[in-house]
Structure 1
Amino acid sequence: MYNGRSTRPGPAGRDSLFGWTIFIIFLAIFAAGCWIGSFYIFGHPEEALSYRVLRTLGKIDAPRRFALTAAPRGQFLDANKLFDRFTKLQPRQLESENKRLQRGYVRNYEQHKELIPYVVGSYDLLGAFRLGPGNFFTGGVVALAQSVENPKVLLELVFPTPEKDAAAAERTLTTGLDLRLPKTMDLIAVINARILPDGRLNITAVPLLYGNYTSSGTAGTFSLEPPTDLNVGAGLPVLNEAAVKEAEKHYAAYLQRTGFARGSSSLARVQPPAVVKPVEVPVARAVPVQRGTPGPVQEPAIPRALPATPAGEVTVRRAEPVKPAVAGGDEAVPVRRAEPVAPRAVPAASPAQAAVPLQPFGGAAPEQQPSPARTGQTE
């Protein structure tokens, strides 16, 4: 039933609906911005903000040491090849290439499909500078060197070291030192390139194996360690143009002192002694003995004694006397039965002188009677 009231929303209802619409649009823009921003942060860790966020969230690790057999794939380039590769790029192309190189290093070359450029060749060291918290690498020494093959190529070789080895690295990396970088020495990866105003190429590189180094002209060694953190906001290259000019002045003064002769000492990598691992004898895990339920003990079967059944009656013959055999025959001669023999008295032999018979005192001598004659028979 129509009561005469209008069903159209009033001014207050229209304002509320408009406010909710603006709020929903704002939430949609915010969600899209977060979604796009997360892609950008994860896709560009070489940016200072992205690197800080990823490090805080634990989504990216600090640079790590690579083994020679597990290093990223790459190509070895001498000074001439490096110069041809980077000087032909336009400024925007060079900037994009530098971001790609830095991104690969910051990610420890994970998700990196392109070949890594490795530096090889011979370089003369112009000067060395200590690194600090304001640099891309917050600890160690950076050495500026000039290529012997192509003097238009300058190399910033970064040596990340612990604080205790930084002084030893500075003493070793002296002006005029010969830096020979063969393929077998280390993997010097390029992480940045720039073109100087005079047209020269300045390369920034870092060893990926982080080995131990010494010099033939000085005593002692220093060890490299992967940096625990990076100051990505400081950017690359490490040295500015003023530091490059200062190093060149030091090198020019060195050449004048030595009569423009190259240095005799060179940098060499020290191979650490091989660690002999003890032979591990695999120990089998103890397995519990499965004990079954004991069954009934079976008594041994004892055979029952049975009466012996005689095979037949045995006839025993009666004993018969043995008849004497006839002499002269083939039969055995019978043996006479033994009879006891009585011992016969044997007369003792009489002495040669006859015994004198005893006579009684005071009497007459007895009458001697003749003895009977021995006839061989007894009476």
Structure 2
Amino acid sequence: MGAATFCWFFSIMVFSHPEKPFNYKVLAKFKKLTPLRPYTIYTAPPGKSFGARDLLSEFTPYNHEQLSVRNDVFKRSYLKNYQHEQPMYLMGSFRVLSARPLADSDVFTQGWIVRARSSDLEDVDLELVMPGLQKEAAPFASGDVITLQKRSYASALHVQRMDEDRLCITVVPLAYQTTAKTGNEVLALTPPERLNMEAYWPITRDPGSEMALTQQEPADIAAAKP
């Protein structure tokens, strides 16, 4: 009876918290992961939108434990296709600092990752995950401006407090067909089949608060070369 009770509670915990690396690995091994839904602008879940200043005001008072809990909720909601929690969407203009292809050691293992800084408030950085993007060259160059609108549905996955009271927010666009455009080119993204939940958040290194708007990280420049 004790063994049966333990297995019952263990199963509940594993299915209830897929954002935990161990639980995610167990679910993946037994093929019990919920497939991530390929949303469109018509089917993306409703949620509250935040600008850079709203983000800073919301998360600056959080202590380490509170931020950790909120980040777990972000990831859990994403992995469960927002069945119980609404997403938090990011909006605003961001100037690109660097871009590189995603690797097996990253949380998302295929596509591109773009690091940018808010045009309105340089204390807020953006990590734009572009899963499944098949491009040899970087989709954005240093200095380009990315504008996240309501129809981008850029959902928060992780908020990281950095030095000098700065924040970095990692987002993934849920409306994959209309994520971003360069000229007349549509950047087609796809939801990942599996994530590396043991990888480090945030995905990119902190470029710092000085000289970051005019100088890319050498590692990211090298990684972006085809």
Note whether the superposition's TM-score is higher than 0.5. yes
Q: CA contact under 8 A between 2:18 and 2:76: conserved in structure 1?
A: yes
Show the counterpart of 1:277: none
Show the counterpart of 1:337: none
**Does 2:214 correspond to 1:252?**
yes
Show the counterpart of 2:62: 89
The AA in structure 2 aligned to 1:251 is L
Show the counterpart of 1:375: none
2:145 corresponds to which of 159, 162, 178: 178
Larger radius of gyration: 1
Q: CA contact under 8 A between 1:78 and 1:120: conserved in structure 2?
A: yes
How many angstroms does 1:153 deviate by? Answer: 0.4
Distance 1:45 1:176, change over 3 A: same
- How far does the alpha carbon of each residue in 1:169-218 deviate from its partner, in whole angstroms, 9 at most, with x for none? x1x3100001111223x1000011010022101100000011254323xx
Show the counterpart of 1:103: 76
Matches within 5 A, 1:1-379: 28-110=1-83, 112-113=84-85, 115-162=86-133, 165-168=134-137, 170=138, 172-184=139-151, 186-212=152-178, 213-216=180-183, 220-241=185-206, 244-245=207-208, 251-253=213-215
Q: Distance in 1 between matches of 2:132 and 2:33?
A: 21
2:164 is paired with a residue of what secondary structure? coil
> Unmatched 5+ residue regions in structure 1?
1-27, 255-379
Structure 2 length as normaliser, TM-score? 0.87
Q: Distance in 2 between matches of 1:179 and 1:106?
A: 26
Q: Distance in 2 between matches of 1:209 and 1:232?
A: 22
The AA in structure 2 aligned to 1:124 is R
Percentage of pairs with the same residue: 30
- Cα RMSD of the aligned pairs, angstroms, is 2.1
How many angstroms does 1:30 deviate by? Answer: 3.0
The AA in structure 2 aligned to 1:134 is S
Distance 1:148 1:250, change over 3 A: closer
- How far does the alpha carbon of each residue in 1:130-179 deviate from its partner, in whole angstroms, 9 at most, with x for none? 101111000111111111111100010111124xx2314x1x31000011
Q: CA contact under 8 A between 1:55 and 1:61: conserved in structure 2?
A: no
Q: Distance in 1 between matches of 2:189 and 2:38?
A: 10
Q: Distance in 2 between matches of 1:108 and 1:141?
A: 22
Q: CA contact under 8 A between 2:97 and 2:215: conserved in structure 1?
A: no
How many angstroms does 1:235 deviate by? Answer: 4.1
2:66 is paired with a residue of what secondary structure? helix
Structure 1 length as normaliser, TM-score? 0.53
Distance 1:202 1:250, change over 3 A: closer
Q: CA contact under 8 A between 1:175 and 1:250: conserved in structure 2?
A: no
